[in-house]
Structure 1
Amino acid sequence: MIKSKKLTINIHCKTIALFTILYLSICLNLKGQELVIYPSPSPSVESIKNNDFSVKVRKPGGTWHDLYGYNVKVDDVRGAYNHVENASLCSFDFSGKVEVAVTYNKGKIKNARIRPLSYDIKHEIKGNTLYFKLSEPSNLSVEVNGDIFHNLHLFANPIEKFVPDKNDTSLIYFGPGIHYLKDGKLYVPSNKTVFLAGGAVLMGQVLFDHVHNAKLLGRGMIAPSVKMGVHIAYSKNITVEGIVCTQCATGGSDSVTIRNVKAISYYGWGDGMNVFASNNVLFDGVFCRNSDDCTTVYGTRLGFVGGCNHITMQNSTLWADLAHPILIGTHGNVDDPDTLQNIEYKNIDILDHNEMQVDYQGCMSIDAGDKNFVQNVRFENIRVEDFRRGQLVNLRVYFNRKYNKAPGDGIENVLFKNITYNGSHSELSIIAGYDSSRMIRNITFDNLHINGLKITDDMPGKPAWYKTSDMARFFVGEHVEGVKFN
């Protein structure tokens, strides 16, 4: 066990003596192909182990190696109630190609799927074992017999590039095992790197608070019982990469990179990756499965003051067990209005959206409230699978008295490019302004496909009296100008 104090951490010297390159239990390197398997956490804690699946991985034709199955909690929302379920998680690193065998220990596999479906990963079922191959790093959900709440989250990472140096005084190192923090918190100082090795489980939060040039790296996990596993506040030049946690929020900060981080939450208001009043934030290759919004961009909120500029999420997967995969604009400053601008979502797979509040839906949602003005937003190469309940798109300048003190000020210049949705559960999408001074302007849909149908203003066979938005099942309400389907 490791004890930590705020700003007086001296951990690495105690644990780093047994270092080997990349802290590996197994590392095969055959003509540039590598496979990295991490040790099981020791001492083992029964609450973090899940035995629903037995997972093995190998280089093609090589020796099989077992992966440790972690227990993570997810939210099966039924009506207005949360039902916490136990799901599985395994991870490893590789380059080149690997073969994976997933054995279902609870019975026979009748059917299976590996998501995102856009990856088109072929599989073979033999008895109660599923076999498939991977040729590039992927964050996956392996689902057996239609069960999405007791699935296997399989995180096949790229090879870790950062090699810890035991002589580096700027390093805070957590090796494989269970680690407890004093007061349940680790405050990272400026110019420090926290390394959470594969097989390490941290029983506490990691906080970046008024610091700069700091990092949290590795393949370890912040325990699923820790709410808001990572919190970045009033900081600059921060990197979080590779770990698993419940939530990773950014507020009042600048120049933040969140890469290949997996956020899985199960409790109420368990947003995955919030952004409050921050600039220059990049999310790259993240996986969010959350019990509330997966990712949000807000203005003034929770003590953070100001708008947002240059927020990008790319190459990522979003799964909202409740609420929105993507939400922009709800919260802001009614006394000194905020602008949220230059926001991009690129190359995203949306696996689920489940929201029962009819006035609060949308896989891709911009709900401008609290006098927020939202402009220059781009959604590009977004693949939406058949979600359980909600809308594909929701763009509104609104006054939701449950969440706002005033209406928003407007939404302008939003591009939806190369958007595909295949499914039957989408309700009517909505685009609506508030009044003549709080409008929505210049909304473009470029290459929108719904169930294989390409939606354009000049689509063949469209009756002359039909609006294009009707073909897409979009309601375009009042105080909206310049909606185009190209």
Structure 2
Amino acid sequence: MKKIYLLILMLCSTCFYADAHLITYKAPEGAVLNKDFSISVREPGQRELFVPTYNVSVTEVAHTKNIIRNSSFGYFDFSGKVEIAVTYQRGPIHRVKIRPSKDGITFKVVGNTIVFSLTQPRNISIEVNNDIFHNLQLFANPIETEKPSDSDPNVIYYGPGIHQIGTLKIPSNKTIYIDGGAIVQGQLLVSGVNNVHIKGHGILTQWASMNSKNGSHVNSQKKGSDERNDQITIEYSTNIDVSGLIVLPHKYSVLIGQSKNVNISSIKSFSSEGNADGIDIFCSSDILIDRVYMRNSDDCVAIYGHRWKYYGNTTNITVQNSVLWADIAHPLLIGTHGDTSHPDTLEKIKFINVDILDQHENQIDYQGCMALNAGDSNLLRNITFDNIRIDDIRKGQLINVRVMYNHKYNTSPGKGIENIYFKDISYNGNKANLSVISGYDETRTIKNVLFENLRINGKLITDDMADKPVFYKTSDMANILVGEYVEGIRFIQNTGPGDTKNSQVEK
């Protein structure tokens, strides 16, 4: 009878998990938590479940000094509808903002608690009293429908708890699974292999210990000066998927070098060091980045030609449905690095449905929420920015499109930039600096830049806008400096798909 009872209990537990609409994960013993917020979540009419709030380091630039701040994040999985209560512990609440604003999340404040509901997965920032550093990033994930078995010989499984793995070189045809409630300390190396899946809702980090008093990190891996410390490296590989993880890197969160058919989806990234980019792509093709949340102390997404040991063109890259937050440097950057001896072409690149929450960059050379910077004889062409929403950035430019020669990084100017399409771009704010579009010389030019439905603080900017004086350039109305060696720049309103005027720009 006892065996039958246990069997029934096990079956019931399995069915409950399979039919679960809300899953939370305990923080592993030894994880560093943040006490600025407490989070509870429940299905309507059900009991509340506690969501741990983890500590994470981000960077605030004060004048020219970088200051490490303690921010926080929490995560859970759900389907259907959930009710969320977030209690602020740092003092009274005077103002609350939940971003991205496009999500239209309505809330109410009861004392020191913010209450709202979600009906679909979201990656959001909850900011109290205009504090963007001691904020809460909340990741409401979909429930996983295909969770691999820990007994599968082709699966390397990390369950709840803390795991120190050093550098793991992953063979072909393997799945690395980091479960919710797990923290894996180490690096994942995908080099010269095929058909690798890296997934789960846990945390991947380089740090073996985190000082809870000041949020500083101690690096557990001792590396030579010629070795990189990127969290996930994908190089010389094909058919690679990375999904779901929260990545707290020492340098890049993900480096993709000379690879093909790589999908990065639903990862979340925070960094606070110098040169700690989010996702950087070199000499690769057929790359999809989807539904990521990147808050980085350097470029969030950067797309290049040759650098270091990677060679070749970069083509067919899509970044979509994502949230980008650059505490320093660029949210989106294309083109700086290449191969002067054997020039690279970077083409067929699309950014679709992206929210840019911030840029803060003191150095003028590295401003631009959307930056196309052709250096090292690179040719940049057939690049689309479609449905990009930019908040009131603290310091930077909306766009920076230049054929340039940056003597710190380049060995030659870029070759040129052509066929660039900005569609449904909106900016709401007043802090953005003057944007720039500029070629280099008569042979290194910018050609065919189309803005369709550019809106600044709700105002549509077009060549035939009613209140533009006839002696103004349209770019003056958009706060864009159009420099020398630029031709074919236009600002238009919505046109039909059959309009031949758009044929010069590949969408």
Partner of 1:368: 374
Residue number in structure 2 paired with 1:117 = 101
Per-residue deviation, residues 236-288 of structure 1 (Å, max 9, x unmatched):
11000000113112111110000001111110111100001111110000010
The amino acid of 2:237's aligned partner reads S
- Matched-pair contact (CA < 8 Å) for 2:187–2:206: no
What residue number does 1:35 align with?
22
Contact 1:253 1:277 (C-alpha < 8 Å) held by counterparts: yes
Match of 1:16 in 2: none
Task: Name the CA shift for 1:24/1:283 in 2 (closer, same or farther; >3 Å).
Answer: farther
1:210 to 180, 183, 192: 192
The correspondence for 1:194, drawn from 145, 168, 176, is 176
Superposed counterparts of 1:429-468, under 5 Å: 429-468=435-474
Match of 1:156 in 2: 140
CA 1:239–1:355 in structure 2 vs 1: closer, same or farther (change >3 Å)? same
**In 2, Cα distance between the equivalents of 1:310 and 1:86?**
37
Q: Kindly indicate whether structure 1 or structure 2 has the higher relative contact order, using CA contacts under 8 Å at least 6 residues apart.
A: 1
For the pair 1:105 / 2:50, whether they are aligned, the reply is no
Write the distance in 2 (CA, Å) between the matches of 1:243 and 1:449. 34
Instruction: Identify the range of structure 1 (71-80 vs 444-453) with the bigger mean alpha-carbon deviation.
Output: 71-80
Distance 1:376 1:394 in 2: 16
Structure-1 separation of matches of 2:119 and 2:289: 23
% same residue: 49
1:65 aligns with 2:49: yes
Distance change in 2, residues 1:116/1:24 (3 Å): farther
Change (3 A) 1:137 1:398: same
Name the structure 2 match of 1:51.
35
- Are the counterparts in 2 of residues 27 and 37 from structure 1 also a CA contact under 8 Å? no
Matched letter for residue 188 of structure 1: I
Instruction: Quote how far apart the aligned CAs of 1:123 are.
Output: 1.0
Q: Distance in 1 between matches of 2:464 and 2:206?
A: 50
TM-score, normalised via structure 1 length: 0.92
Give the partner amino acid of 1:152. Answer: L
Alpha-carbon contact 1:224-1:265 (below 8 Å) kept: no
The one-character-per-residue Cα deviations of 1:292-318 (angstroms, maximum 9, x if unpaired) are 000010000121111200010000000
In the TM superposition, what are the counterparts of 1:165-176 in structure 2 within 5 Å?
Answer: 165-176=149-160
* Alignment-mate amino acid for residue 237 of structure 1: N
Q: 2:391 aligns with which of 385, 395, 400?
A: 385
User: What's the CA shift string for 1:305-339, capped at 9, x where partnerless?
Assistant: 11200010000000000000000000000110000
Gaps of 5+ in 1: 1-19
CA deviations over 1:94-131 (Å, ceiling 9, x no partner): 11111110011222211111111111111111111111
Q: Confirm or deny: 8 A CA contact 1:189 1:211 kept in the other structure.
A: yes
1:84 corresponds to 2:68: yes
Counting only pairs closer than 5 Å after superposition, residues 178-193 of structure 1 correspond to structure 2 as 178-181=162-165, 184-193=166-175
| Unmatched 5+ stretches in structure 2 | 1-9, 208-218, 220-228, 493-507
SS of residue in 2 equivalent to 1:359: helix
Tell me what 2:503 maps to. Answer: none
Summarize the alignment of residues 252-263 of structure 1 with structure 2, pairs less than 5 Å apart: 252-263=258-269
Aligned residues: 458
Match of 2:226 in 1: none
RMSD of the TM alignment (CA)?
A: 1.7
Q: Any idea what SS the aligned residue of 1:470 has?
A: helix
Work out the CA distance in 2 between the residues paired with 1:57 and 1:71.
19
Contact 2:23 2:78 in 1 (8 A): yes
Correspondence 1:130 to 2:132: no
Structure 2 counterpart SS, 1:427: coil
